[in-house]
Amino acid sequence: MTRFWTLFYKELLRFWKVSVQTVAAPVLTALLFLVIFGHALEGRVQVYDGVRYSSFLVPGLVMMSVLQNAFANSSSSLIQSKITGNIVFVLLPPISYLEFFGAYVLASMVRGLVVGAGVAAVTVWFVELRLEAPLWALAFALLGAALLGTLGLVAGICSDKIDQLAAFQNFGIIPLTFLSGVFYSIHSLPRFWQRLSHANPFFYMVDGFRYGFFGVSDFPPLASLAIVAASFFAVSLLALGLLKSGYKLRQ
């Protein structure tokens, strides 16, 4: 386990040494979203009875920050190591692919959760929040961060250049998070777009996380949790298979 903890500690230091960029900047971005959308739509949009729009918005911003930063941590770490060539110092020691997987994903979860906690700590001064089901919120936050950390690992393995990784993020992760119900309820959409939203796994993470705050959701939380867990299992199998084969790592 010393090998695992050493690699995990290295990944923690990698993002914490530049925490102004990796933690403070995403928190500021989420705060700007709250100020702009909250000011523009407060009093004009009400999704749940008795819940102000700005209060509805905060859990979505927290979860969006968790997901995006968990993905960014593992994907950016791996692509930077491949481009600079220092990935060889991780591959040469007797670190198993399971330890490699666990260290990268766990570090990504830590970064995502730290950023999410930072967003919650800053935005709670502007809105009134309540935690109706904190265990549900924690479960979706942990599982969502793990899923995106694993997906970031897959993207980092498959990418050879920064622009290839940017394509994963700009055309995949960001659109899926923005269209997951962070800023709206899918019940406000036409029926076609509601059905299309159900094909977006990010929707279940955001909706389930928001259920932990308000006790209401657009989709049954247990079913959402099962879908997210199944997605994590499938992506984990893919990532482990790529790591075991050494695809684009041992070339």
185 within 8 A of 218, measured Cβ to Cβ: yes
Note whether residue 88 is domain-resident.
yes
Number of domains in the chain: 1
Report how far residue 1's alpha carbon sits from residue 168's, in angstroms, rounded to the nearest whole number: 32
Task: Name the phi and psi angles at 155, rounded to 5.
Answer: -65, -40
Note the pLDDT of residue 40: 73
What tens-digit pLDDT sequence spans the chain (251 residues)? 688 999 999 999 999 999 999 999 999 999 999 988 887 777 666 777 778 888 889 999 999 999 999 999 999 999 999 998 888 888 888 889 999 999 999 999 999 999 999 999 998 888 888 889 999 999 999 999 999 999 999 999 999 999 999 999 999 999 999 889 898 888 888 888 888 889 999 999 999 999 999 998 889 999 999 999 999 999 999 999 999 998 988 76
Note whether residue 156 is domain-resident.
yes
Note whether residue 191 is domain-resident.
yes
Note whether residue 207 is domain-resident.
yes
Range of the domain at 139: 2-244
Note whether residue 231 is domain-resident.
yes
Alpha helices in the chain (DSSP H): 2-16, 19, 25-41, 53-84, 88-91, 97-123, 134-158, 162-168, 174-178, 191-197, 201-214, 221-245
Note whether residue 133 is domain-resident.
yes
Work out the end-to-end distance of the chain between its first and last CA atoms, rounded to an integer number of angstroms. 27
Note whether residue 70 is domain-resident.
yes
Angle between helices 97-123 and 2-16 (to 10 degrees): 40
Note the pLDDT of residue 115: 97
